[in-house]
Structure 1
Amino acid sequence: MEFEGRAALALLGRVRYGRLALTRGALPYIAVARHVVTDDSVLIRTDRSWGVDGTVVAYQADDLEAGWAVQFLGTARAFHPSTAQQALFGTDRQNDTSREPGHVYVRLDPRVHHRNDLASAW
């Protein structure tokens, strides 16, 4: 991954939640999800599989106070996280997006990324 992609991943690593953009029944859908960044991948935990395994999805997160937003596109792959990977997500259930004890984990290896400087948008 080139420098700009790594810089975008570094920004993503500063926040805990983002939005997973996918399709349901050929219609667009946005799901809030928890994420961590590791090894040039975005690991996403959500409460449903949404049928995204093997499909192209987008993931977006931002820090409006700091003035940035990042977006990633790639193929989502369902996976079973190791204990170490689960620990990266933490155990704090406050503001978690999952209401059930079980989670679905998805790995996104971004192929396209984009960073928005929100200050220039105003």
Structure 2
Amino acid sequence: MPTDEELAVDLMRRTDHGRVAASRHALPLLAAARHIVVEGRVLLRMHRGCGSHQACVGGVIAYGTDNLGSARPGESLWSVQIVGRCEAVEPTAAERERFGPAPRLVDGERFDPVYLGLTPQFCTVHSTDDGLERQFQHIL
């Protein structure tokens, strides 16, 4: 059976967006982000204008995604949470391309991307109906 980290990274590859959880001035912060997985690391693209990235850089954050809105009938539901240290990164041209087109506007402002890197230190995976266990039996 694969480890939670292996499952988490594989499942992250199946989605495009997730939610960052951080603390800003001792208050909880949740923000949407676009992500890609590069060599077991999660790269995030967020809008600089919201300032959410400032609460993330240099700290420990959680990032999660799921298939709650995209699961087909009969498919098990899953959610993934990755916790790790966050840092500002400058993605390569190929990595920027993998993010796909950026939104034109966010909250009425022109989108200004900022990129963050998250190296998993702790991962959790939750699923319904043992669907992931059956699906990932071939990974060993």
TM-score range, shorter chain: 0.7 to 0.9
Q: Which amino acid aligns with 1:116?
A: H
**Structure 1 residues 91, 109: CA separation in 2 closer, same or farther (over 3 Å shift)?**
same
Using the TM superposition, give the Cα deviation of residue 43 of structure 1 relative to its aligned residue in structure 2, in angstroms: 0.3
Unpaired runs of 5+ in structure 1? none
The answer as to 2:69 corresponding to 1:59 is no
**Which has the higher Rg, Structure 1 or Structure 2?**
2
The answer as to 2:125 corresponding to 1:115 is yes
Give the TM-score taking structure 2 as reference length.
Answer: 0.75
Give the TM-score taking structure 1 as reference length.
Answer: 0.86
Using the TM superposition, give the Cα deviation of residue 3 of structure 1 relative to its aligned residue in structure 2, in angstroms: 3.7
| Contact 1:46–1:97 (8 Å) recurs in 2 | no
The answer as to 2:114 corresponding to 1:104 is yes
The more displaced of 97-106 and 48-57 is 97-106
Rounded to whole Å, the distance in 2 between the matches of 1:36 and 1:94 is: 19
Aligned identity (percent) is: 32
1:18-74 superposed Cα distances (whole Å, 9 cap, x missing partner): 000011111111001100011010000000323321100000000022400000000
| Aligned equivalent of 1:75 | 85
| Contact 1:33–1:97 (8 Å) recurs in 2 | no
Aligned residues: 119
Unpaired runs of 5+ in structure 2? 131-140
| Aligned equivalent of 1:44 | 44
Two-structure CA RMSD over aligned residues (Å): 2.4
Q: What SS is found at the alignment partner of 2:7?
A: helix
Using the TM superposition, give the Cα deviation of residue 96 of structure 1 relative to its aligned residue in structure 2, in angstroms: 7.8
